[in-house]
Amino acid sequence: MTKIMIVDDEPDLREMLNLMMNKEGYDTEIAQNGAEFLNKVEQFHPDIVTLDVMMPGLTTKEILEKLRTKEVNPKIVLLTVIQFSEEEKKKLKQMGNVVQYITKPFELDELLEAVKKNL
Amino acid sequence: MRDEPDIVKELREAEYLGLFQSKVQGAYEELETQKEASDNVPDETVSFAEDDATEKKERVCDSASHEQTVREPPDSEIYRTLFENVSDEIIYVNKHGKIVIVNRRSYDLFGYKPEEIIGKNFLRLGWFGVRDMPKMLKLFKDAIRGKTIDLLELEVRHREGHIVHVEVSTRPVRKNGKTVGFLSIVRDITEHKQLEMTVREQQQSFIDVSKNIPVGLIIADSSGIITYVNDELTKITGYNADELVGMNGFNELTRPEDKEKYEQIMKRRMGNQPHIKKYERIIVKKDSTEVLTEFITTKTRWNGKICPLAIIRDITEQKKSEQEIRFLKEYNENIIESNPNAIMVVKGNKVEYVNNSFVSIFGKNKNEYISKNLREAISAEIFNAFKEQLQDNDSKIKELEIKGRNFSVNSFVVKKAEEEEEEEERIGILLQDITERKKTEEALKESEEKYKALYRTSADGILIADIETKRFRYANPALCKMLGYSEDELKEMGLNDIHPKDSLEQVISEFEIQAKGEKTLAEDIPCLRKDGMIIYADINTTVTLIDGKKCNVGFFRDITERKKAEQLIIVSEERYRDLFENAHDLIQSVNPDGSFVYVNRAWKELLGYNEDEIVDLNIFDIIHTEKKDHCMETFKRIMSGENIDRVEATFKTKDGGKIDVEGSINCRYMDGKPVSARGIFRDITDRKITEEKLRENEEKYSGFFKTSRDATFITSKEGRMIEGNDAMMELLGYKTKDELLKIGVSEHYENPEDRKRHIQIIEQQGYTKDYSVNLRKKDGRIINTLITSAVIKNKKGKVTGFQGTIRDITEKKRVEDKIRQQNIKLKKLDRVKSDFLNVTSHELRTPMSAIKGYIQMIMKQTLGNITEEQKKALNIVLRNTNRLDNLIQDILDISRLESGTMKFLPNPTDISTLAKEVVETMQSFADTKNIKIQLYLDNDLPTLTIDKDRIKQVIINLLHNAVKFSEPNSNIEVNGWVNSKRVELEVRDYGEGIPEREKEQVFKTFYQVDSGVDRKFGGAGLGLSISRGIVLAHGGNIWVADVEGKGASVQFSLPLKSVKNIEQRFKDIDIFDLKNKDYHMPDFEKIIISRGKHT
């Protein structure tokens, strides 16, 4: 079963995504910040991670850097309220396996398509 | 000299000649007769121009006749024998010159046999040289004309080439009284000739020799007739050679009384009897004077004869000198005799002579010395000295003391008289009394020692130089020290070596002047030391004689130190004087009586006096009458010892001008009495004039000046406030003008240094406009002012002061500062707002995500089935959620635009592809109103370097608006083309359109065309503002174009050439100010309020 890990500091959104992904038939795990994500990621071993860009604690860059030291290599879908410049996108891509950027608030279908596309 | 040829004599004697002659003649007559028949040559004609033919014929005839001759009859045998055997050649030549008969001697003589030459012309046989030919022709002619020629010497060429000397005698041969030829007898005299030549040569060489010898020579014959004299004799006698030869020496050259004596001498000489070889003989000269000669006679052979030869020498001069010598000898003897020195002559060991002095010095009489042995004759002392001297052989004079007197002993060899031939030489002893000289010498030595000591120890350098060579002879230690050379070194040097080259000329000239004694002291003479240093010396010179050479004795005094000191004084004096002379101030020094000690250049220039005039000038002459009393009073006060710091006076120039001065005077005292008053003054005429002028002006403009609301001032250059109006007083807070003018201008400045800077600028450009300065008010408060000021110049163009106005901008400045502070505050607020927007946007959008997510999940019935009504309601909720989200997005962008934090990332972008993508994306939105978006792009739109996402946003915004303002089921067109250097895109709709008056307003923030419209379509008006900002940042433009018919056309352009620094441009562009004016800060609160109104 495809494993999706949902990382978001916003509980409502996190629950919403978790609910939706379960309903879609994916095995999910949640984390409310970068640190928790990094703790759980090796154990859960997700295929895809939806990662919120603005969370308290570690920044996105720090999370991606640390992820590289782990024994996993999930595909990353970044959820963001800000637009990244091409340059920033390039840098992020070099750091990890970022496959998609989705701007909040997103259309549900957009996100599901992105997940399906990258499985 | 020669006798007749023997043959002829013999012939004659033998009387054969006649026979011979007739016989030969007879034979010839026969021949001639025969010949004349065939040979028609005229008798008298002698021709050498006969042609060969004639010659040949003749020769044939001749040979024929010869044969006939050979065949002579026997009775002529005797003649023939005779003829053939005579030792002379006998030849008969006919009148044509042809040899008719010739005997055998011709062969011996000339190498031709008779048969070879008979019949031939004798002149053509090569016997005679070309030179002799004319003579021979003449002889021939003479001969055939019947002339007899005797003993003619001729040179004839032998057949073998050598010359044969012959003697020829010819006799004509006649027939019938007519000469038909001649008979010649030719004798060989070659040998004789050679002998003669030899004698002649010897004689000649004798003559040549005798010519050049310095004695006279006479050769005479036995009777005394002179046959030869040489040149010297002509000199002795005064006769010339021609006169002398042939003269009888005993008659002409001899005094009559001597004649017999001399003849006797000669006879004895020639007769080999005892005789005197050499004797003195007086010769009487041509002019009858007599000359004493020495005669030496001898015998010689002259022209083959024994003759007397006399060698004669003029001994007149010799005799004279002999007499003189004799006189001198006597004279010398007298001198020696009376000589004060004792003289003794010794010959061998014996005394030969003593003079009187000797006797008087050493006692005894002369006879007691003469012939005595020297050893006995004189004291051992003298003898030893004498011997020593002889042995030493160095002719050094020995000195000895005899009887309390000093003598020098000198020996000399007495020269022999010429005629004496004695073996032993005479030695003279000269004893000279040198007692006095000795004394003098000792005195001299003493003084010399004294001088030497002086010379050695003198502090002055002493250098003795030869005047002629300019080389040094002596130098004392002081001088050696002075110049750094040793005395030995200096002795090798000369004047040229101890003076610097450039002053050498002067030094030498001084040296020569001193040498002439015209001057003794040469001052400041530069001397070159060995170490190259130059020292200066005063040289005192005297001329003296050393070893017979004139020398300059120079006493050198080193004045280098003194000179240095002097120069220092001069330099400092010059410096001091320079300072004085070049000062602009007037400087004077005045005696108590008012006369001038000194005035400087500025003083002279200003008052117009020259140096000479100042001598006669008194201080009161230059004081202007106006101030005379005041000045005199002041002067008196100064002289009485009062100190007056500041004096104002008025001077009178030479031409009567007036000069106001201001300065200080101080008095110099000596022994408590004033000796001079020194004053330094500054010309303040200009200042005075300026001040006066200003005062005049003040009157003129006083009304204006006083009432002017601007603070107006006049200051002197030095910084005195000369005038200030009421406004000025008010500005600075002073109540009275006096109060204001008392204070120096600099003191009004908050920072006095500012005035210097201010003045510098005014002087540089002549004025300042609104120069910002902080001034200090009387109460100490600082005010901000702007000063507009200009220079005041005097007639000469010199700046004397400043005038200007001051504007108090303290209040203005305060307001400006406040505005600036507010601006800063606003900007801060602005930033806060941006941050606020950023955070708020995020916070706003995050819940939006959750809301939207759940709505969509419900609507998709993921969470269970819902009714159609529920679905419809949720759709409305979703739409409004999206609207809210869009609004938040726009606010976020605006926030970025305002804070200048929007980022641009330009990349090469294909504009066609971009437009297609946007149209595809927006079509789904347009579908909601069933609107069709049509894309019309020119082919080959270029690739542009732009921020793809931002430009995409622009097109989306434009399409969004177009869709919003279009009626459903209508069309929207997107057009693209290249115009000039730009790509232009157009979004054209067919909706409401934009009213003309609002075409520019639409780009304003939060603008929507019509509230009515707004109500109908909703949405914030931020899109166009944002789009405009983005397009302008890219170097493009955006505008609302005119359209035909319904709807609107919004167009924007992008340059083909990319623009640098888009972000910077974006920051610089005031996106809220369409025409860069009427800038107003959008108020966030108002936006919210306005937004609220629109919602």
Instruction: Please state which of the ranges A37-46, A59-68, A87-96, B984-993 shows the lowest mean pLDDT.
Output: A87-96
Residue whose C-alpha is closest to residue B101's, from B8, B183, B186: B183
Task: Output the pLDDT for position B1004.
Answer: 66
> How far apart are alpha carbons B230 and B425 in whole angstroms?
43
The residue in chain B having the minimum alpha-carbon distance to the alpha carbon of residue A15 is B850
Instruction: Identify whether residues B635 and B738 lie together within a single domain.
Output: no
Q: Is the Cα torsion angle B475, B476, B478, B484 positive or negative in sign?
A: positive
Residue A47 and residue A74 in contact, taking contact as beta carbons nearer than 8 Å: yes
A109 to chain B: closest CA residue: B856
Count how many domains chain B has.
Answer: 7
Which chain B residues are Cβ-neighbours of A25 within 8 angstroms?
Answer: none
Least confident of B367-376, B691-700, B724-733, B770-779: B691-700
B872 Cβ partners below 8 Å, 6+ apart?
none
C-alpha dihedral over B1013, B1014, B1017, B1021, to 10 degrees? Answer: 130
| DSSP-derived secondary structure letter, B337 | H
Residue B509's alpha-carbon distances to B479, B499, B504, B515, B594, in angstroms, are: 21, 13, 8, 10, 48
Q: Domain boundary at B258, B284, B314, which?
A: B314
Closest CA to B97 of B70, B125, B74: B125
Cβ-contact B116, B107 below 8 angstroms: no
Cβ–Cβ of A87/B905 closer than 8 Å?
Answer: yes
Which three-class secondary structure state does DSSP give residue B145? coil
| Residues B101 and B89 sit within 8 Å (Cβ to Cβ) | no
Amino acid identity, position B907: N
Position B548 pLDDT exceeds 60? yes
* B332 and B290 inside one domain: no
Please tell me whether residues B240 and B378 are part of one structural domain.
no
B578 residue type, one letter: D
CB contact under 8 A, A23 and B857: yes
The dihedral of CA A109, A112, A114, A116: what is its sign? negative
CA dist list (Å): B189 to B70, B153, B161, B166, B183: 30, 9, 17, 5, 19
Among B760, B789, B808, which residue terminates a domain? B808
Provide the b/e sequence for A39-62 (b: ≥16 CB within 10 Å): ebbeebebbbbbbbbbbeebebee
List the single range of A90-104, B566-580, B845-859 with lowest mean pLDDT.
Answer: B566-580
End-to-end, the C-alpha distance of chain B in Å comes to 192
Beta pairing class for B350-354 and B216-220: unpaired
How big is the A-B interface in CB pairs under 8 Å? 61
Q: Which of A9, A13, A78, A115 to mutate to test the interface with B (most CBs of B within 10 A)?
A: A13
Q: Which chain A residues are Cβ-neighbours of B862 within 8 angstroms?
A: 20, 23
The topology under which CATH files domain A3-117 is Rossmann fold (3.40.50)
Contact B108, B84 (CB under 8 A): no
The answer to the question of residue B147 being in a domain is yes
Ramachandran bin of B774, using left for φ above 0, alpha for ψ from -120 to 50, beta for the remaining angles: beta
Q: Tell me the pLDDT band of B701, cut-offs 50, 70 and 90.
A: low
Beta-ladder partners of A13: none
This model of the complex carries an ipTM of 0.82
When CB atoms are compared, the residue of A54, A79, A85 closest to B842 is A54
Predicted confidence at residue B29, as pLDDT, reads: 59
Same domain, B434 and B374: yes
Q: Using an 8 Å Cβ cutoff, are B7 and B103 in contact?
A: no
Nearest CA in chain A to B885: A105
Give every CB contact of residue B879 below 8 A, 6+ residues apart in sequence: none
Q: Retrieve residue B839's tokens.
A: 């955070």
Q: How confident is the model at residue B1008, as a pLDDT?
A: 46
Residue B983 pLDDT grade (very low, low, confident, very high; cuts 50, 70, 90): very high
Query: What residue ranges in B642-732 does DSSP mark as E strands?
Result: 644-652, 658-670, 673-683, 711-716, 721-724
Contact B853 A54 (CB under 8 A): no
* Residue in B842, B850, B949 nearest the CB of A12: B850
Is 90 exceeded by the pLDDT of residue A43?
yes
Please tell me whether residues B119 and B159 are part of one structural domain: yes
**pLDDT, tens digit, for every residue of B245-262?**
888 877 788 888 888 888
Query: Distance between CA atoms of B716 and B793, rounded to whole angstroms?
Result: 11
Asked, for residue B781, whether it belongs to a domain, the answer is yes
Nearby residues of B901 by Cβ (< 8 Å), 6 or more positions away: B834
Least CA distance to A87: which residue of chain B? Answer: B905
Which residue, among B842, B843, B846, B862, would best test binding to A if mutated, counting the most A CBs under 10 Å from its CB?
Answer: B846
Residue B851 contacts A, CB cutoff 8 Å: yes
Residues from chain B that touch A10, judged by Cβ atoms under 8 A, are 846-847, 849-850
Could you tell me which residues come within 8 angstroms of residue B385 by beta carbon, excluding any fewer than 6 positions away? Answer: B398, B400, B409
B41-57 pLDDT, tens digit each: 444 444 444 444 444 44
Report CB contact under 8 Å: B903, A85.
yes
* CB spacing of B842 vs A105 below 8 angstroms: no
Instruction: Inspect the interface and report whether the beta carbons of A10 and B850 lie closer than 8 Å.
Output: yes
The 10s digit of each residue's pLDDT in B382-392 is: 777 777 777 76
Nearest to A116 by CA among A63, A67, A69, A48: A48
Q: What is the mean pLDDT of residues B489-514?
A: 87
The first and second tokens of residue B1034, run together, are 């890219």
Say whether B90 sits in a helix, a strand or coil: strand
User: What contacts B610, CB < 8 A, 6 or more positions away?
Assistant: B604
Helix (H, G, I), strand (E, B) or coil at B724: strand
Residues B772/B752, Cβ–Cβ less than 8 Å: no
**What is the Cβ-side half-sphere exposure of residue A68, based on CA atoms within 13 angstroms?**
12
- Cα(A105)–Cα(B881) distance, rounded to whole angstroms? 10
Q: What is the pLDDT of residues B113-168, one digit of tens each?
A: 888 888 888 888 888 887 888 888 888 888 888 888 887 888 888 888 888 888 88
In this structure, the answer to whether residues B165 and B222 fall within a common structural domain is no
Residues B501 and B433 in one domain: no
Q: B76 falls in which pLDDT band (50, 70, 90)?
A: low
Q: CA angle, A45 as apex, A40 and A50 as ends, to 5°?
A: 75
Tokens of A36: 């928790």
What residues in B contact A54, CB-CB < 8 Å? Answer: 842
- pLDDT > 90: percent of chain A: 35
Specify the pTM: 0.31
Of B67, B170, B80, B160, give the one whose Cα is nearest residue B115.
B67
Region B859-876: mean pLDDT is: 89
Which pLDDT score is estimated for B597? 81
Under an 8 A CB cutoff, do A16 and B853 touch?
A: yes
Q: Is B877's Cβ below 8 Å from some Cβ in A? A: no
Going by C-alpha positions, the residue among B547, B340, B362 that lies closest to residue B437 is B340
CA-nearest of B588, B591, B601, B577 to B651 is: B588
The DSSP result for chain A, as a single string, is: --EEEEE-S-HHHHHHHHHHHHHTT-EEEEESSHHHHHHHHHHH--SEEEEESS-SSS-HHHHHHHHTTSS---EEEEEESSPPPHHHHHHHHHHS-EEEEEESSPPHHHHHHHHHHT-
Contact B915, B884 (CB under 8 A): no
What separation, in Å, do the N-terminal and C-terminal C-alpha atoms of chain A show? 11
Residue B574 to residues B563, B565, B749, Cα–Cα distance (Å): 16, 14, 42
For residues B250 and B263, the answer to whether their CB atoms sit within 8 Å is: yes
Cα separations (Å) of B59 from B34, B118, B182, B362? 14, 9, 19, 120
**CA neighbor of B482 nearest in space, from B503, B451, B458, B502:** B458
Q: Does residue B174 share a domain with residue B244?
A: no
Considering only CB atoms, which chain A residues are within 8 Å of B863? 19, 23
For residue B294, which amino acid is it?
E
- Report the residue from A23, A79, A83 with minimal CB separation from B862: A23
User: Hey, CA dihedral for B567, B573, B579, B580, is it positive or negative?
Assistant: negative
- Indicate if the pLDDT at residue A47 is higher than 90: yes
B880 touches chain A (CB under 8 A): no
The answer for B 802-841 residues in CB contact with A (under 8 A) is: 841
Going by pLDDT thresholds of 50, 70 and 90, the confidence category of residue B622 is confident
pLDDT tier, B1077 (very low <50, low <70, confident <90, very high otherwise): very low
B874 chain-A contacts, CB cut-off 8 A: none
User: Which residues in chain A touch residue B877, judged by CB atoms under 8 angstroms apart?
Assistant: none
B867 is a domain residue: no
Mark out the alpha helices in B733-867 (DSSP H runs): 737-742, 745-748, 753-765, 810-859
The answer to whether B1076 faces chain A, any CB pair under 8 Å, is no
What's the CA gap between B854 and A107, in Å, rounded? Answer: 11
Mutation for B interface: A21, A83, A87, most B CBs within 10 A: A83
Give the residue-averaged pLDDT of B771-794: 88
Q: Is B49 an interface residue toward A (CB < 8 Å)?
A: no
Q: Nearest chain A Cα to B856, which residue?
A: A108
| Residues B516 and B614 grouped into a single domain | no
Instruction: Enumerate the residues of chain B whose CB falls inside 8 A of the CB of residue A109.
Output: 856
Q: Is B899:B834 a contact under the CB 8 Å cutoff?
A: yes
Mean pLDDT value across residues B338-364: 79
CB–CB of B587/B599 below 8 Å?
Answer: yes
Mutation site, A81, A88, A89, A112, interface B, largest B CB count within 10 A: A81
Q: Tell me the chain A residues in contact with residue B845 when contact means C-beta distances shorter than 8 Å.
A: 81, 104-105
**Partner residue opposite B857 with nearest CB, options A20, A54, A104:** A20
Interface contact B352, partner A, CB < 8 A: no
**Cα distance from A69 to chain B (closest Cα, Å)?**
30
CB contact under 8 A, B846 and A10: yes
Residue B599 has phi, psi (to 5 degrees) of -135, 155
The verdict on whether omega for the bond into residue B134 sits within 30 degrees of 0, i.e. cis, is no
Per the listing, tokens 């590289």 go with A68
B842 to chain A, any CB pair closer than 8 A? The answer is yes
Size of chain B in residues: 1095
Distance set, CA B1019 to CA B125, B957, B1011 (Å): 172, 11, 11
Q: Please give the residue that has the higher pLDDT: either B474 or B899.
A: B474
Identity of the residue in B847, B853, B949 whose CB atom sits nearest the CB atom of A108: B853
For the segment B651-680, what is each residue's pLDDT rounded down to a tens digit?
888 888 888 888 888 777 777 777 788 888
Full domain range(s) for residue B351: 319-412+424-439
Residue A71, min C-alpha distance to chain B (Å): 32
Taking an 8 Å Cβ-Cβ cutoff, which residues of chain A contact chain B?
Answer: 10, 12-13, 16-17, 19-20, 23, 54, 79, 81-83, 85-87, 104-109
pLDDT tens digit sequence for B783-812: 888 898 888 887 777 888 888 888 888 888
> Which CATH number characterizes residue B350's domain?
3.30.450.20
Does residue B1048 share a domain with residue B1079? yes
Residues B666 and B720 placed together within one structural domain of the fold: no
Which residues on A lie below 8 Å from B856 (Cβ)? 107-109
Q: What is the 3-state secondary structure (H, E, C) of B354-406?
A: ECHHHHHHHCCCHHHHCCCEHHHHCCHHHHHHHHHHHHHCCCCCEEEEECCEE
Q: Which residue is closest to B849 within chain A, CA to CA?
A: A105
User: Per the CB < 8 Å rule, is A23 touching B846?
Assistant: no
Residues B288 and B370 in one domain: no
Last residue of a domain, one of B314, B335, B368: B314
Q: Which residues on adjacent β-strands are paired with residue B937?
A: B976
Contacts of B539 (CB under 8 A, 6+ apart): B510, B514, B521, B522, B525, B554, B555, B556, B557
